[in-house]
Structures are given as C-alpha cells and as structure tokens.
C-alpha cells in the first residue's frame, strides 16, 4: 500500500477499500521503523491521527476535499507550522513554535492532507547533503540495509523512475522526463560492494534530504521541500523520486523560512510525475501574503492530455557537460535524449554560455541575502537567547555564534563583506548583471523554439557520506548545484 502513488491510494480511499486512519497508521509505523535513517526531525503523530480521523468522516459523508484528502504528507522543517516546532535544523530555532501556518502548509491542510511530520534538512537549507543539521545527517534509503518496500514497485516498473525538472516560461508545465536506469547500481560499483559499512552510508542529497527519503521510503506519499539552488531536485535525484522546482512566483513563499528570497521556491517531492502535478495544482496560485507570487490566475495542469512528442523541440545545453560529471550520468543523459528522439522529438544542442558563471554568481547573491535574512536572529523576539547579559551587543554576539553553525556564520560574514558600500558595486551589482545574463540564456533558448531543456540534475549518483564530508560545505554545493542552479537564477524563465 505504501508504494502506491497519490492517485492510486486516493482511488482506494474513495472506493472505501481502506480509510485514512489506516493509511496514517501504516505510514507512522513505517516512519518509526526507519527511524535510524533520521528522516524526520519530528513526527506529528497526534496531529496526523486527528487529521486522519477527520478525513475518515469526510470519506464516510462523501465530502472529500481533494485527491490529497486523507493522504499522509511530510513537510521540510523550514516551513512554519502552527504550534509545531520549526527548527530549520538550527540551534537558533530549536524551540521555535511558529504562530502560523505557511501558505502551502495551509493549502495542504485545506486539501485534507494528513501532516505526518517535519523533515530533516541542512541548517537553514544551506547545504546539498542533509548532513549539516543539529539533528544529525539523514541517510539515503537506497543501500541502507533497510528492507525497502518499494522494491516490489521497482520490479514492476522495470527500474524506471521518473524525474521532473521544471523549467517553464509560465507555469512550470514543461517537464523533463528522464529514465534513470542505474539508480540502484551502487552495489555493482567497484570498491563499494558493502553499502552498510560501519559509520558510512550514501547521502540523501539536500538540503531537502529528509523530504526526499520520506517519499522514497514510503513513509509519506508526497512531501514539501524547498529549492534555492537545487535543494529539491538534488535529493530527489539521489533518492530516486520526482523533484519539482516550480517557477518562481507560482507558489507562495509565505511561511517558508527564507534562504535566498529572490530564488527560493517551495519544492514538490513525489513518486510520480502525475502526483507532482496533483500537488502543484493544489499549491499554486497568487497569495496576498506573498507579493512576489504571479497575479494571473493559475490554470491547473492536465497531464492526461496526449502530448504529441513529435512537435516538441528538446534542447541539450552543451555547457551542462562539465568537468566532474560521471560517465554514468553522461550515458544516462544521452540515453534519455536518444529515447526521446526515437519517440519523434527533435533533439538539438543549444548553448547557454553563462552556465559556468552561475556558481560564483550564486555564491555572492546567496551570501548577501543570507547575511540580510539572518539579521533577525538576534535572540530578542524569538528563538535562541543565550544567558549573556553584559550588553545587547554581547547578547547578539553570543546568541548568534552559538545559534548558527559554521557554514551559516561563514556566509553571513561573506555576505556582509560583499554588501559593504565599497564592495557593493564589485560584488552584488556585478553578480546581478551576471544573473541577468544567465536568465537571458534561458530566454534565448525559449525564443529559439526550444520547448524543453534536458539536463542532468547532479554530476554523479549519491556519494558516500565519508566521501562527501571530505570536502567543505562550499565545495559540496559548488559541484552539487552546477546543473540545477541556473534555473533558480532565471526564476520564472
């Protein structure tokens, strides 16, 4: 049951084969069982059971709210949930209970979804491995040694997993389908025959690693991540689930604790493309509480329409072929392109020349916004406050040095440096110009008749924890985000 798609489980609920409470119990059981993967920061058992019971009644009375009614979902721990701790995996917010629900959380609730728990992440979403968390790292379920119930499904579907990457001019509807044949091939790799070596495992990717593993492991049917430079798509790729980064402005950021306001989007993690579309349709639309959401009314996606693939032009941006990309990813990339071409699509090479500048540009913009966004964590209104009482300045200093990890502190320092009046033109302004060039790469591609860009998400498959942490956070992100980041730069292109 836990391996079904949202649409499939929804059908079973509507047919009365099972009731939401049973699904909820099964999911909670699964979550408990997989505790050692460290998926959840907090299981919201009572909330889930209560919501499931209410959903039971709706199914009995026939006033079902949506396809999601009664279906367990999880939410990354950077979404505000009313009266439920929202930690951003940071000591700074360890005991922070938001007084309100994020818009997307509220929309899930209004749709009848059952909130199973809050998922682990890198502190303040700064990372690409879900390893930098006060709650400890999240482990990938693949090759984790856990009995993996989805295996049946993988067998059925001949190891095919769909992955989605939204790069659309209006609604993120143009999706890239990739078949990743080698997802579970770790055991065949040289020197990595034993997946569960003591103290080592494959990382989940990040920063929405908890959400991705929650979906992959069957603990929930869908989850919310967030995506600033690839934080939803990256763990989706490593965990073999669908990760959708909607266009900027399509989903409300209200209640999503920001990393980089101008690039953050709520991300969707599901097991099928169809499910991703279902969630997108429920979550998208203008929000008065987020002035950057698109005001035009949202036209729901309908994937049931037959797509005439012969009329689709697929672009392969050559700059995405970069140093460090594994042979396996390269083979898969060209393999998928071949499949699409055989199916009748026109596959052409395109150039997006500013792609290599994205990392440097992103790191400036990211750190500047981080420096600004983190200024509010001063121990006064909410969150951690140390016992320091010599002066307000001392209180700030001790609260902030104890509350943030090294990565966060490092970015704050760099960001404030970039924003100094004398540096602003050389860093921030310069980065904005490069950002525009990157965005124009996309505009040019679309205006040259390209409908879809086909790119890898990550340069390799999931690395081992030991291997991953041998490099620092900055290096990790720089290589991990290469293929995903330009889309965030471009925003709604």
Partner 1 sequence: MILLYSEGKSVFTFALPALLIRAWTCRNFSVNNNDAKHFLSRKVKSYVSPTSTYTTETKFKNKKQSYWKSVVGLEIHAQITSTSKLFSQAGTEFGVPVNANVSFFDAAIPGTLPMLNRRCVEAGVLTALALSCRVNPVSFFDRKHYFYSDLPAGYQITQHRVPLAQEGVLEFHVFTPGSHHKPYSKKSCIKQLQLEQDSGKSLHDEEACRSLVDLNRAGIPLMELVFEPDLEDGEEAAALVKELMLILQRLGTCSCKMEEGALRVDANVSVHHEGEPLGVRTEVKNIGSVRAVGHAIQYEIHRQVKVLEAGGVIINETRAWDADSKQTVPMRDKEEKQDYRYMPEPNLPPLRVLLNDQPAVPNTYRDHINVQCLRRKLPELPSETRAKLTNKYGISPESAAILVNENVLLQHFYDIMEEKKSRDPKLSTNILIMELLTILNKKKLSLEASPFPSHTLGEIVDLLQSEKINLVTARKILQEIISGNSMSPSEVVEKYEWTQITNPSEIEKVCTAVIEQNPKLVEQFCSGKTKVFNSLVGKAAKITENRANMATVVQVLTAKLRKIQNP
Q: Which residues are part of the catalytic machinery?
A: 76, 207, 231
- The H or E element that residue 162 is part of is none
Q: Binding mask 284-323 vs partner 1 (x if CB under 8 A, - otherwise)?
A: ----xxxxx--x----------------------------
Q: Binding mask 114-143 vs partner 1 (x if CB under 8 A, - otherwise)?
A: ------------------------------
Extended strands (E) in 37-111 = 40-43, 72-76
Single residue of 155, 305, 381, 425 touching partner 1 by CB under 8 A? 381
| Cα angle: 141, vertex 180, 312; to 5 degrees | 140
346/388 with CB nearer partner 1: 388
| 393 binds partner 1, rule: CB under 8 A | yes
Q: Token pair of 209, please?
A: 């690693």
Single residue of 66, 94, 96, 321 touching partner 1 by CB under 8 A? 96
394/475 with CB nearer partner 1: 394
Q: Binding mask 7-26 vs partner 1 (x if CB under 8 A, - otherwise)?
A: --------------------
β-pairing, 242-244 vs 313-317, is: unpaired
Distance in Å from the first CA to the final CA of the chain: 38
Integer angstrom CA distances of residue 466 from 131, 145, 199, 470, 482? 11, 17, 9, 6, 21
| DSSP assignment string, 249-316 | TTB--TTB--S-TTT-EEEEEESSHHHHHHHHHHHBS-BTTBTTS--SPP----TTSPP-GGG-EEEE
38/399 with CB nearer partner 1: 399
Contact status, residue 236 vs residue 163, Cβ threshold 8 Å: yes
**Share of the chain residues as helix, strand and coil, in percent rounded to the nearest 5:** 40, 10, 50
Minimum gap (Å) between residue 376 Cβ and partner 1: 4
Single residue of 193, 196, 261, 466 touching partner 1 by CB under 8 A? 261
| 330 binds partner 1, rule: CB under 8 A | no
| 104 binds partner 1, rule: CB under 8 A | no
Minimum gap (Å) between residue 228 Cβ and partner 1: 12
10/103 with CB nearer partner 1: 103
| 430 binds partner 1, rule: CB under 8 A | no
| 428 binds partner 1, rule: CB under 8 A | yes
Size of the site for partner 1 (CB under 8 A): 46
Q: Token pair of 434, please?
A: 């490069």
350/487 with CB nearer partner 1: 487
| 387 binds partner 1, rule: CB under 8 A | no
Minimum gap (Å) between residue 214 Cβ and partner 1: 21
Q: Binding mask 176-195 vs partner 1 (x if CB under 8 A, - otherwise)?
A: --------------------
Minimum gap (Å) between residue 392 Cβ and partner 1: 5
Minimum gap (Å) between residue 416 Cβ and partner 1: 6
| 253 binds partner 1, rule: CB under 8 A | yes
- For residues 123 and 442, what is the distance between their CA atoms, to the nearest angstrom? 31
| Cα angle: 197, vertex 202, 205; to 5 degrees | 160
86/143 with CB nearer partner 1: 86
| 364 binds partner 1, rule: CB under 8 A | no
| 371 binds partner 1, rule: CB under 8 A | yes
Single residue of 396, 436, 440, 444 touching partner 1 by CB under 8 A? 396
Single residue of 318, 376, 426, 433 touching partner 1 by CB under 8 A? 376
- For residues 73 and 258, what is the distance between their CA atoms, to the nearest angstrom? 21
CB atoms within 10 A of CB 286: 15
| DSSP assignment string, 314-375 | EEEEGGGS-TT--HHHHHHHHHHHHHHHHTT-EEEEE--TTGGGHHHHHHHHHHHHHHHHGG
CB atoms within 10 A of CB 117: 29
Our measurement of the distance from residue 327's CA atom to the centroid of its chain's CA atoms, rounded to an integer in Å, reads: 25
- For residues 268 and 37, what is the distance between their CA atoms, to the nearest angstrom? 21
| 254 binds partner 1, rule: CB under 8 A | yes
Q: Token pair of 364, please?
A: 């400036």
φ, ψ of residue 287 to 5 degrees: the values are -130, 125
CB atoms within 10 A of CB 460: 17
Single residue of 41, 47, 68, 80 touching partner 1 by CB under 8 A? 80
| 388 binds partner 1, rule: CB under 8 A | no
β-pairing, 265-270 vs 242-244, is: antiparallel
* 397-416 residues near partner 1, rule: CB under 8 A: 416
CB under 8 A: which stretch of 8-16, 62-70, 92-100, 336-344 binds partner 1?
A: 92-100
Single residue of 255, 267, 315, 317 touching partner 1 by CB under 8 A? 255
Residues engaged in binding partner 1 (CB under 8 A): 79-80, 86, 88, 93, 96, 98-100, 102, 253-258, 260-262, 288-292, 295, 368-369, 371-372, 374-376, 378, 380-382, 389, 392-393, 396, 416, 419-421, 424, 428
């Amino acid at each position: 049951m836990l391996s079904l798609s949202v649409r499939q489980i929804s059908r079973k609920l509507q047919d009365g084969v099972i009731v939401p409470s049973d699904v909820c119990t099964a999911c909670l059981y699964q979550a408990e069982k997989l505790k050692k993967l460290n998926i959840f920061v907090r299981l919201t058992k009572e909330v889930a059971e209560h919501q499931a019971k209410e959903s039971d009644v709706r199914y009995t009375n026939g006033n079902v709210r949506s396809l999601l009614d009664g279906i367990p979902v999880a939410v990354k721990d950077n979404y505000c949930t009313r009266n439920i701790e929202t930690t951003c995996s940071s000591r700074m917010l360890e005991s922070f209970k938001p007084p309100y629900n994020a818009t997307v959380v509220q929309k899930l609730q209004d749709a009848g979804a059952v909130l199973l728990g809050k998922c682990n992440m890198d502190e303040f979403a700064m990372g690409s491995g879900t390893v930098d968390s006060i709650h400890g790292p999240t482990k990938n379920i693949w090759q984790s040694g856990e009995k993996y119930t989805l295996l049946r499904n993988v067998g059925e579907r001949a190891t095919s997993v769909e992955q989605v990457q939204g790069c659309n001019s209006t609604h993120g509807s143009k999706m890239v389908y990739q078949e990743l044949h080698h997802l579970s091939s770790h055991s065949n790799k040289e020197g990595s025959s034993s997946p569960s070596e003591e103290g080592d495992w494959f990382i989940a990717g990040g920063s929405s690693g908890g959400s991705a593993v929650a979906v992959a492991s069957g603990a929930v049917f869908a989850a919310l991540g967030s995506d600033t430079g690839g934080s939803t798509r990256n763990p989706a790729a490593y965990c073999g689930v669908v990760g959708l980064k909607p266009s900027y402005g399509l989903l409300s950021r209200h209640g999503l604790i920001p990393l980089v306001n101008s690039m953050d989007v709520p991300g969707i993690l599901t097991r099928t493309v169809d499910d991703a579309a279902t969630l997108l349709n429920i979550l998208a639309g203008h929000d008065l509480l987020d002035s950057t959401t698109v005001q035009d009314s949202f036209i729901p996606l309908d994937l049931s329409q037959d797509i005439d693939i012969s009329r689709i032009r697929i672009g392969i941006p050559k700059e995405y072929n970069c140093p460090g990309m594994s042979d396996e990813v390269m083979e898969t990339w060209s393999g998928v392109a071949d499949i699409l071409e055989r199916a009748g699509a026109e596959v052409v090479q395109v150039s997006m020349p500013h792609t290599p500048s994205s990392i440097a540009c992103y790191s400036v913009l990211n750190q500047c916004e981080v420096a600004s966004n983190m200024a509010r964590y001063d121990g006064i209104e909410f969150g951690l406050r140390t016992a320091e009482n010599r002066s307000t300045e001392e209180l700030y200093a001790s609260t902030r040095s104890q509350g943030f990890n090294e990565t966060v502190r490092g970015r704050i320092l760099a960001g404030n440096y970039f924003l100094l009046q004398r540096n602003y033109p050389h860093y921030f302004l310069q980065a904005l110009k490069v950002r525009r060039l990157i965005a124009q790469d996309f505009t040019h591609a679309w205006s040259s008749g390209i409908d879809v860009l086909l790119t890898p998400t990550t340069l390799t498959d999931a690395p081992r924890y030991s291997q991953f942490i041998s490099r620092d956070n900055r290096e990790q992100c720089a290589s991990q985000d290469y293929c995903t980041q330009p889309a965030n730069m471009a925003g709604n292109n």
